[in-house]
Each structure stands twice: as C-alpha cells, then as structure tokens.
Copies of this chain bind each other. A is one copy, B any other.
Amino acid sequence: MTSMRAEILESAARLFAAHGFRGTSLQDIASDVGCSKASLLYHFTNKDAILSELFAPVGRDLETIQGKLAPLDGEQAAREAVAGLVELALRFRRQVKILLVDVDDLLCRPELPDVDSATESLVDALVGRAPGQECRVVGWMTLVGIFLTCARGVDVPDEIMRVELTRGALRALGRPTD
C-alpha cells in the first residue's frame, strides 16, 4: 500500500492536468483518492501546498541550473541558460509526466519556488511576458508551460522537443539558430 501523501499527489496531478488548478476542488481530489476533504488538509497545510510539492523537484533543478549559470556571462551564459532550461523541461516531463497544470493559474501563484532577479530577467528575455500580467516571477514557468502545452496529448520524443525548444528560445533571444 502506497502512502497517503503519495496517493494524494498522484490524484492531484492527474486532476490538475485534466481540469487545471482552479478547476479542481479539494473535494474532487478527495473523491478521487477515496477519502474526505479534511483528510487532505491533514497531510497538506492547504491546497497550494499540494501544488508546491508537485513542483518542488523542478524548483531544485532550477537552482542547479542557476548555480552553473553564475560564473558565465553574455552570449555564453545565454546559451547555457537555454540548454539548462530545455533539459529542465524534459526532465520535468518525466518526473511529473501527467502534470499539465493550467499555466495561467501558475503565473499568479506567489508561493511557488522563486528565483533571483538575475535569473528572472534572463528567463523573461527567453520566453517573454505578456504586458499587464501580474506574475511576480515565474517567467520560467512560461517556458515549462510552452513545453507542456506543445506536448499536450502528443508524445513527441525528447530529441525533437529539445531541438524545437532550443530553437524557439534562441529565436526569442534574437540569436542565430545554428
């Protein structure tokens, strides 16, 4: 028997994927797991905590990328960043393979793992940000969102995704896509 926390995370991931974060209520998750809504809030402090835990590994990966990025600068740093973020997206797909969470929801959640302003502006440059959007940081979430949306329901091999994502990011940066 798997642990309760694991079951909750599994159900939540599947439901978030199907209906989005706002579109999934605690009762929906509880029904899917087969327990009461209150039981969810015993294992997790609140609904956001469930989402945060699903994204925790991604946050740690991002910090790793950030660390490798620090000593670099300019063109070299940008290319490293692109490669790192693309690999992050691919790894993320394997880790939480059915998680296709509503991107717009994510863009407005302040409590998700944060990054410093340098990485923020870099990622913003990579993927852009719509004017008037209230998101604090999470430009990197947009990249993940692009990846997830592109992969929605279509099992594109990693190799193809890697090429496409890298090309798109480089183009957004205004750099040659050699």
Interface residues of A (CB under 8 A from B): 14, 17-20, 22-23, 100, 102-105, 108, 127-134, 142, 145-146, 149-150, 152-154, 156, 160, 164, 168, 171-172
Contacts and interface: CB of A to CB of B under 8 A. Distances in A.
B145 A172 contact: no
Query: Number of copies of this chain in the oligomer?
Result: 2
14 contacts: A19-B104, A19-B108, A23-B104, A23-B105, A127-B153, A129-B152, A129-B153, A130-B153, A131-B153, A145-B149, A149-B149, A154-B172, A156-B171, A160-B171
A155 to B, nearest CB: 8
Contacts of A171: 156, 160
Most buried by B among A14, A20, A105: A20
A171 B102 CA distance: 25
A40 to B, nearest CB: 20
B130 A20 contact: no
A20 B168 CA distance: 24
